[in-house]
Amino acid sequence: MNTPNLASENPSRSLDQLPSAASARIIRIAGDRAMQQRLQMLGIRPGVALQIVHGPNKRGVVIQINGARFAIGSSMVQKIWVTELSA
């Protein structure tokens, strides 16, 4: 796991505000319970580190968590709050 103090340095923002190719850690997922559960079962949950591999753009964003890639549509992207991890 990365050092936790980075989280306090960078403010949290929604996933669509990250620059492309950024790394970030998920802080919070807004939205209804069913959607949270869906994301959680995919391993997209608070605390995990992710890397942006495509986007963000109007369509959404493609992220990588460990070995897996996920496409997240634009309506969901705004509900995932992260802090950027400096490379």
Interface pick for another protein out of 10, 12, 74, 83 (rule CB under 8 A)? 74
Query: Judged by CB, which is closer to another protein: 9, or 18?
Result: 18
Question: Does residue 63 contact residue 13 with C-beta atoms inside 8 Å?
Answer: no
Q: Does the protein bind another protein through residue 59 (CB under 8 A)? A: yes
Q: Does the protein bind another protein through residue 22 (CB under 8 A)? A: no
Tokens 């109007």 -> residue: 58
Interface pick for another protein out of 19, 41, 86, 87 (rule CB under 8 A)? 41
Q: Does the protein bind another protein through residue 71 (CB under 8 A)? A: yes
| CA proximity to 85, closest of 57, 68, 61, 63 | 63
Q: Does the protein bind another protein through residue 20 (CB under 8 A)? A: no
∠ CA(59), CA(14), CA(56), 5° rounding?
A: 30
Q: Does the protein bind another protein through residue 68 (CB under 8 A)? A: yes
d(C-alpha 74, C-alpha 87), whole Å: 25
Interface pick for another protein out of 15, 24, 60, 85 (rule CB under 8 A)? 60
Q: Which two tokens stand for residue 32?
A: 């209804």
